[in-house]
Structure formats: structure tokens, C-alpha cells
């Protein structure tokens, strides 16, 4: 599914007159189905294939209440080789750990992409999504890590723009261990 954003407030280049120009932006949307959060391990939620993508928004939603006491969650990105079988370089925490204990159904987990903690408003709040919450994901994997074995489940959505010819994101339908 594609999502188009039109802005009529973009600046015109020097010498042009008027109040703005149309800017058309296509965001591609991919989802994962709901699944149990990983138990003291990692779970690949998306794979980026064919090149780099500009992630416009990465959003998780709690679908089964998260068990109380101490589960923390973070989101990381790891570049993979062209065969998608071996890691390249060091993993980066896109959203650092946040306590998700007792998160209720409908709570949103928002990845701002600035390496700070995952935003974690409860189900009653929509949460603030920053206009600067975009980040570049290399060919590789986007995954969750938890530090405690707890019950609960979430689903994930990503909106992105391909930066390289042939780049795309695929959701992982079931829990998958990190390469």
C-alpha cells in the first residue's frame, strides 16, 4: 500500500514567485501480524532488501497486555551482506530501551529514529510523532530485543521511501531470530 503526502508550503527556488509549490511524497506501508514479544532474545520484524530505505515512521501496537515487572524493549538495525546471511558492521539501537511493563492493549510504541528511548504512550494517548522521526535503514534487518521473558504481543507497521533502485522492506510474518 502506498501513502501520498502533498505539501503546498515547500519553498520555491530563487527567482520564482508565489507562495509554494506542490511536493508529492510516496510512503510505502508494510505490516507484520501480531505476535508474542521475544523472550530475553531478539526478533526480526522487518528485512530491508536491495538497498537503503528512508524510514518515515516505525510504529508498534500492543495487541496482548504486556506482563508487569521489568520487561524492557529496544529496536535496532543491523546491516547484512548482499546474500542477507551475515552481519556487516555494528548494530545500531534506533530506539533505546524503555520499560513496557503492563502496557495495555492499544498502547503505541513509536520509534523516533534519533537513538533515544522508544516512545510509549498508553492506549488512551495517541502519542507525539516528530516531524524529524525519519532515519535511514541499510540493507539488513530491523529487530526487537527484550531483557526479560514476559507475556504479551505486538504488531508493527513501517512507512518508508526507497533510496536505492530495487530497495524494499518485507515484514516478517512470524518471530525470527537475528542473523
CA distances for 146 relative to 82, 109, 128, angstroms: 27, 14, 24
Kind plus residue range of the DSSP H or E element containing 157: strand 153-162
Residue 18's pLDDT is: 54
**How far is the CA of 58 from the CAs of 19, 86, 118, in angstroms?**
32, 24, 10
Domain count, the chain: 1
Rg (CA), the chain: 17
pLDDT value of residue 172: 92
Q: How many CB atoms lie within 10 A of CB 115?
A: 11
Question: Is 134 a domain residue?
Answer: yes
* pTM greater than the 0.85 cutoff: no
Per-residue pLDDT at 53: 97
Per-residue model confidence as pLDDT tens digits over 69-110:
767 889 999 999 999 999 998 999 999 888 888 888 998 888
- The owner of cell 533515544 is 116
pLDDT of 48: 97
- The pLDDT tens digits for 7-28 are 545 554 555 555 555 566 789 9
Residue-level pLDDT at 23: 60
- Of the pLDDT bands very low, low, confident and very high (cuts 50, 70, 90), residue 117 is confident
Kindly state whether residue 162 falls inside one of the protein's structural domains. Answer: yes
Would you say residue 4 lies in a domain? Answer: no
166 in a structural domain: yes
Instruction: Tell me the residue range of the domain where 143 lies.
Output: 30-171
Phi-psi region of 56 (alpha: psi -120 to 50; beta: other; left: phi over 0): alpha
Q: Is residue 146 domain-resident?
A: yes
Mean pLDDT of 55-64: 93
Within-domain flag for 135: yes
pLDDT, position 87: 93
Could you write out the three-class secondary structure of 57-80? EEEEEEEECCCCCCCEEEEEEEEE
Domain membership of residue 12 (yes or no) is no
CATH code of the domain covering residue 122: 2.60.120
Residue 54 maps to a domain: yes
Angstrom distance (rounded) from CA 1 to CA 151: 31
Cα–Cα distance for residue pair 8/20, rounded to 1 Å: 5
Amino acid at each position: 500500500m502506498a501513502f501520498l503526502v502533498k505539501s503546498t508550503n515547500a519553498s520555491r527556488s530563487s527567482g520564482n514567485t508565489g507562495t509554494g509549490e506542490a511536493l508529492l511524497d510516496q510512503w510505502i506501508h508494510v505490516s507484520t501480524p501480531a505476535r508474542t514479544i521475544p523472550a530475553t532474545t531478539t526478533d526480526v520484524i522487518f528485512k530491508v532488501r536491495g538497498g537503503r530505505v528512508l524510514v518515515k515512521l516505525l510504529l508498534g501496537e500492543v495487541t496482548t497486555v504486556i506482563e508487569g515487572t521489568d520487561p524492557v524493549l529496544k529496536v535496532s538495525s543491523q546491516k547484512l551482506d548482499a546474500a542477507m546471511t551475515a552481519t556487516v558492521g555494528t548494530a545500531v539501537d534506533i530506539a533505546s530501551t524503555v520499560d513496557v511493563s503492563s502496557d495495555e492493549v492499544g498502547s503505541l510504541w513509536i520509534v523516533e529514529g534519533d537513538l533515544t528511548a522508544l516512545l510509549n504512550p498508553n492506549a488512551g494517548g495517541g502519542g507525539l510523532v516528530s516531524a524529524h522521526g525519519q532515519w535511514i535503514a541499510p540493507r539488513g534487518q530491523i529487530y526487537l530485543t527484550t531483557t526479560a521473558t514476559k507475556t504479551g504481543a505486538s504488531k508493527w507497521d513501517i512507512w518508508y521511501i526507497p533510496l536505492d533502485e530495487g530497495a524494499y522492506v518485507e515484514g516478517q510474518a512470524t518471530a525470527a531470530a537475528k542473523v
